[in-house]
Structure 1
Amino acid sequence: MRFCSECGSDKVQMIMPYGDIGLRHICQNCGAIHYSRHSMVAGCVATHEGRILLCQRAIDPYRGMWTIPAGYVETGETLQEAAIRETYEEAGATATHLRLLTVYNLPMFSEVYVLFSADLKTPQLMAGEESLEVKLVYPEEIDWSSLAFPMVREALRHWVAPAGCSSVDVADFLWGPEGGVRVRHHDRMGKDGPE
């Protein structure tokens, strides 16, 4: 951070405030403390009569690979509104009856993915600007090697698991120095609390 967003000063330093546990950007002119924030991503494992909506990416990264509709939450949106919007933008589909499915932490990228299971109002689909193609597939038809992101693979694995739709999967995605991804699952939360 080069300039304070409160007063515009260029006198911003990384300092650990008294009583805090981490370094923060602090303006030496006005005293404003600037905290880093996580970006929120929302999306859906959206289905119609047992078939799952998949979108083939038209953009990098992972152009040509398959994913579920998801994207960044806009200012003023709820998580559910963002998931519904992304489903419409990427697949021309209307998601309804959203239910929390997963919460995935990506600390390396300062992102949190909140994914819902949802019903599609109709099976009619139309690829949006960010999708080359959209389709509905049965779980056994999923080509797991063609999925774009580890979070998508985990969310779909959780959804197809016998108790998937009745529990919430909470996990951390940790990237190692060699580039590999390790998934650390927390206790799965069922409808009545921890399982």
Structure 2
Amino acid sequence: MNFCSNCGAAVEFRIPAGDSLPRHVCRQCGTIHYQNPKLVVGALAEWEDRILLCRRAIEPRLGFWTLPAGFMENEETTAQAAARETAEEACARIEVGELYTLIDVPHISQVHLIYRARLLDLDFRPGEESLEVALLREDEIPWDEIAFRTIALSLRHYFDDRRRGHWSFHTASLPPPPDWPIRPAA
């Protein structure tokens, strides 16, 4: 951040009085600009023994599979975000159930929340951010083509819990992948 979104003056990166972390602080009006983690919210939408997955039409991870999920918007609940993202990415209607996984991803300043959900009907199709959508059984999941570690972890918990016949709420904190940061090829 170089300039204040409040007055347009230059900002400096320093620890403001009464704080313990460096922040972008406006030199002119004194506005402190906090940068906090983003919430990524999605749904694990079930239909009988199948799960709704979307193949991404956008970066990052273009062409890889994921649950319908995305960044939470202001003035919505996390459950509303899960339903909205499912509608946007899969043009699907769901009944949002309980929060299923909460995964901290501190190296990219995100928190991922995945809800269990029930697909209300089979009227779905790819939204603008999806190349295709599909209902898949566990043995049909393209595990090597899952876009994000948080999604793979949520799916593994789901199928393990289903086999046990007992649903649990799962939390985790993911360390950076071994090749972090990913560097472009020379």
**TM class, shorter-chain normalised?**
0.7 to 0.9
Q: Is the 8 A contact 1:159 1:165 kept in 2?
A: no
Using the alignment, how far apart are the partners of 2:166 and 2:112 within structure 1?
A: 17
Q: Which residue of 1 aligns with 2:24?
A: 25
Q: Does 1:166 align with 2:184?
A: no
Q: Considering only aligned residues, what root-mean-square deviation do their CA atoms show, in Å?
A: 1.9
| Gaps in structure 1 of 5+ consecutive residues | 181-195
Using the TM superposition, give the Cα deviation of residue 177 of structure 1 relative to its aligned residue in structure 2, in angstroms: 5.8
Q: Which residue of 2 aligns with 1:95?
A: 94
Q: TM-score w.r.t. structure 1 length?
A: 0.83
**CA spacing shift, 1:164–1:154, aligned 2, 3 Å:** farther
Question: Residue type matched to 2:143 in 1?
Answer: W
**CA spacing shift, 1:39–1:139, aligned 2, 3 Å:** same
Using the TM superposition, give the Cα deviation of residue 15 of structure 1 relative to its aligned residue in structure 2, in angstroms: 1.5
Q: Which residue of 2 aligns with 1:81?
A: 80
Using the alignment, how far apart are the partners of 1:77 and 1:128 within structure 2?
A: 20
Q: TM-score w.r.t. structure 2 length?
A: 0.87
Using the alignment, how far apart are the partners of 1:21 and 1:115 within structure 2?
A: 32
Using the alignment, how far apart are the partners of 2:58 and 2:21 within structure 1?
A: 36
| Gaps in structure 2 of 5+ consecutive residues | 182-186
Instruction: Report how many aligned residue pairs link the two structures.
Output: 179
Q: Which residue of 2 aligns with 1:40?
A: 39
What does residue range 7-22 of structure 1 map to in structure 2 within 5 Å?
Answer: 7-10=7-10, 12-22=11-21
Using the alignment, how far apart are the partners of 2:50 and 2:20 within structure 1?
A: 47
Q: Which residue of 2 aligns with 1:188?
A: none
Indicate the SS of the match to 2:174.
Answer: strand
**Cα distance per residue 1:20-53 (max 9 Å; x no partner):** 3211112232222221121111100101112100
Using the TM superposition, give the Cα deviation of residue 164 of structure 1 relative to its aligned residue in structure 2, in angstroms: 8.5
Using the alignment, how far apart are the partners of 1:24 and 1:164 within structure 2?
A: 47
Using the alignment, how far apart are the partners of 1:117 and 1:8 within structure 2?
A: 43
Q: Is the 8 A contact 1:101 1:165 kept in 2?
A: no
**CA spacing shift, 1:97–1:81, aligned 2, 3 Å:** closer
Using the alignment, how far apart are the partners of 1:88 and 1:137 within structure 2?
A: 18
Q: Does 1:149 align with 2:148?
A: yes
**CA spacing shift, 1:99–1:132, aligned 2, 3 Å:** same
What is the percentage of aligned positions where both structures have the same residue?
42
Indicate the SS of the match to 1:167.
Answer: coil
Q: Which has the higher strand share?
A: 1
**Cα distance per residue 1:81-137 (max 9 Å; x no partner):** 111011111112111032101111121211111110100001232111111111111
Using the TM superposition, give the Cα deviation of residue 168 of structure 1 relative to its aligned residue in structure 2, in angstroms: 1.7
- Of the structure 1 ranges 38-47 and 121-130, higher mean CA displacement relative to structure 2 is found in 121-130
Question: Residue type matched to 1:174 in 2?
Answer: P
**Cα distance per residue 1:125-168 (max 9 Å; x no partner):** 21111111111111232121111111110010111112696322
Q: Does 1:69 align with 2:68?
A: yes
